[in-house]
Structure 1
């Protein structure tokens, strides 16, 4: 049970990065690739928090996972709820996994407590 928060965070962040790549480069709902503006927006709004969540799950830092959840929630909710049903509804699953990982992750111990 100790590793579950890290595994949930890893699954969410890797899934989110895969969904971002799918959205930008292999979107089944449009025949063209994403422009520079779309790359920047999706990269900053969803891709960067996914990288932060990946780092948070690797070092097991609850605060970073919460930051990734808060950062990606607005755009993730927009993508997941804008058109139902679609493949982009999986962004809601990513947000739920971020929340589960943040809620079940124990707060990081201080450096002095780790050394003792």
Structure 2
């Protein structure tokens, strides 16, 4: 268990349970329970971390945009259906009115 020894050489209390130097893990901003010898969870990987965050953010934005586009398309479909329905109802209504007018003319003509 080479990594167990290395944790203790750094001037803190070695934690045999987790295999890290707990004091360094705390003060370097890393996780004190991270199972690596240096103790700092992501101490040295600043560049990788921000690149990963950027990638995650881009993926989330892409999913968000995709969802918004889908919602817009669904809304447009529903709106079109409502408008078609309203147009059909209006046409029926106008047909009914013209039928009633024709009936009135017939009644007046008698």
User: Which protein has the larger Cα radius of gyration, Structure 1 or Structure 2?
Assistant: 2
Normalization by structure 1: what TM-score? Answer: 0.25
The structure with the greater share of residues assigned to helix is 1
